């Protein structure tokens, strides 16, 4: 295994072999998850704390199941009722939890960079479950695994990432990962939802959906992130759907075997037509959810191995605290 890091904070620091080793291990967890008995003891005896400062359905339940299937003791902090509401800072909350000696902390936070900051203050492994508009590494890894299994490769594919790119950590982590693996990436959407400097990532930018989808192997739709908008980004939802919503007519411009992805939660009839989202011949949206559990198991398993090795070294040197 080539993955040696202490934390999983983003895709940015990962090398292509590290990405591949996480995905390879995740493949074996897909098999385990399809069995009736889904237990492994990779995290046996370890404590995992999930801290979600933002709402989540898929990511939180997926991290919880992943930890439980690997045998960890999993605790979900309810941030709505925690002392954060009394004004405690993120760092104080983290230091308090750190004193309880968790081994893995899974953190989602609305501010970009908050999870990196927290990782500097604790002794355990930290996994970023999404920070602001910055990164969402396990989402990009689960998307990569979904693509690799559907297309039998993860290179030289044309991937169209469509919609609200500017507010999306999913888009950011995906374009970093897919770029590292040498794919051709197109960003498609209204100019108001394109991040500044998008072209510097080496992607092609399209405002017209039909042109942007032409001959694409993968069509990745994104949610309109209204909670991150302060007005004026789109004309109206109706107009947005007309121009950038994925429907059969627009999808017909992609390759006949193109797959359709969406990280969820979906706004049916805003960024995607419900019939396409449910079409099992095109949509891999449910596969993405399945791959999510396996990828999170793989990531936590690898971090736990590194943590054990690090503690073993510190014990041998007499520096373990």
CA dihedral 119, 122, 127, 133 (to 10 degrees): -30
The smaller minimum CB distance to ligand NCD, of residues 103 and 163, is found at 163
Contact 107, 116 (CB under 8 A): no
Which CB atom, from 142 or from 185, has the smaller least distance to ligand NCD? 142
Residue nearest to ligand NCD (CB): 223
Select 74 or 170, whichever has its Cβ closest to ligand NCD: 170
Choice between 50 and 59, CB closer to ligand NCD: 59
Could you say which residues in the range 288-307 bind ligand NCD, by CB under 6 A? Answer: none
Q: Kindly give the interhelix angle for 169-180 and 16-33, rounded to the nearest 10 degrees.
A: 110
> What is the closest distance, in whole angstroms, from the C-beta atom of residue 161 to ligand NCD in the complex?
12
Of residues 11, 154, 170, 276, which one binds ligand NCD by CB under 6 A?
170
223 binds ligand NCD, rule: CB under 6 A:
yes
Q: Which of 6, 58, 214, 243 binds ligand NCD (CB under 6 A)?
A: 58
Q: Which is nearer to ligand NCD, 21 or 225 (CB)?
A: 225
Contact residue for ligand NCD among 130, 132, 163, 189 (CB under 6 A): 130
Instruction: Give the chain's radius of gyration (CA, Å).
Output: 20
How many positions of this chain bind ligand NCD (CB under 6 A)?
11
Q: Of these, 48, 93, 128, 139, which contacts ligand NCD (CB under 6 A)?
A: 139
In this structure, what are the phi and psi dihedrals at residue 121, rounded to the nearest 5 degrees? Answer: -100, -10
Q: In what order do the strands lie in the sheet with 259-261?
A: 204-206, 184-188, 158-162, 218-221, 259-261
Q: In 3D, which of 245, 259, 247, 283 has the Cα closest to residue 157?
A: 259
Q: Closer to ligand NCD at the Cβ: 46 or 114? A: 114
Min CB(67)–ligand NCD separation in Å: 17
Residue 264 binds to ligand NCD (criterion: CB under 6 A): yes
The reply to whether 220 sits near ligand NCD by the rule CB under 6 A is no
Least CB distance to ligand NCD at residue 1 (A): 26
163 in contact with ligand NCD (CB under 6 A): no
Question: Of 162, 263, 276, 290, which lies in the binding site for ligand NCD, with binding defined by CB under 6 A?
Answer: 263
161: helix, strand or coil: strand
The pair of structure tokens assigned to 124 is 């355990």
- Cβ-Cβ contacts under 8 Å for 95 (sequence gap 6 or more): 121, 122
Q: Does residue 60 touch ligand NCD according to CB under 6 A?
A: no
Phi-psi category of 229—alpha, beta or left, where left has phi over 0 and alpha has psi -120 to 50? beta
d(CA 308, CA 292): 24
Nearer to ligand NCD by C-beta: 136 or 253?
Answer: 136
Out of 48, 50, 59, 60, name the contact with ligand NCD by CB under 6 A. Answer: 59
Kindly tell me which of 58 and 305 has the beta carbon lying closer to ligand NCD. 58
Q: What is the DSSP string of 217-283?
A: SEEEE----GGG--S-SSS-HHHHHHHHSB-HHHHTTS-TT-EEE--S---BTTTB-HHHHT-TTTB
Query: What does the alpha-carbon distance between residue 208 and residue 206 come to, in Å, rounded to a whole number?
Result: 6
Which residue ranges make up the site for ligand NCD (CB under 6 A)? 58-59, 130, 136, 139, 169-170, 223, 225, 263-264
């Amino acid at each position: 295994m080539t993955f040696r890091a202490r934390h999983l904070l983003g895709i940015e620091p990962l090398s292509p072999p590290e990405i591949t080793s996480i995905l390879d291990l995740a493949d074996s967890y897909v098999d385990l998850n399809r069995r009736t008995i889904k237990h492994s003891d990779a995290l046996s005896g370890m404590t995992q704390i999930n801290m979600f400062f933002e709402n989540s359905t898929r990511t939180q339940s997926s991290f919880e199941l992943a930890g439980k299937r690997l045998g960890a003791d999993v605790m979900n902090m309810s941030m709505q009722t925690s002392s954060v509401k009394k004004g405690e800072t993120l760092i104080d909350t983290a230091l308090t939890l750190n004193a309880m000696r968790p081994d893995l902390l899974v953190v989602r936070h609305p501010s970009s960079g908050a999870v990196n900051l927290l990782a500097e203050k604790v002794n355990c492994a930290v996994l970023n479950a999404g920070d602001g508009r910055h990164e969402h590494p396990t989402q990009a890894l689960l998307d990569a695994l979904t693509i690799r299994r559907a297309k039998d490769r993860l290179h030289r594919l044309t991937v169209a990432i469509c919609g609200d790119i500017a507010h999306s950590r999913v888009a950011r982590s995906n374009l970093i990962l897919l770029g590292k693996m040498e794919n051709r990436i197109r960003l498609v959407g209204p100019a108001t939802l394109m991040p500044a400097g998008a072209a510097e990532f080496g992607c092609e930018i399209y405002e017209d959906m039909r042109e942007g989808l032409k001959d694409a192997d993968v069509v990745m739709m994104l949610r309109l992130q209204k909670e991150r908008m302060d007005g004026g980004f789109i004309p109206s939802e109706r107009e947005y759907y007309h121009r950038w919503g994925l429907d059969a007519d627009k999808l017909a411009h992609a390759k006949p075997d193109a797959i359709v992805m969406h990280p969820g939660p979906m706004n049916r009839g805003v960024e995607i037509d419900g019939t396409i989202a449910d079409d099992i011949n095109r949509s891999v949206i449910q596969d993405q959810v399945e791959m999510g559990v396996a990828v999170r198991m793989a990531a936590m398993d690898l971090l736990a191995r590194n943590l054990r090795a690090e503690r073993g070294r510190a014990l041998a040197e007499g520096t373990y605290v």
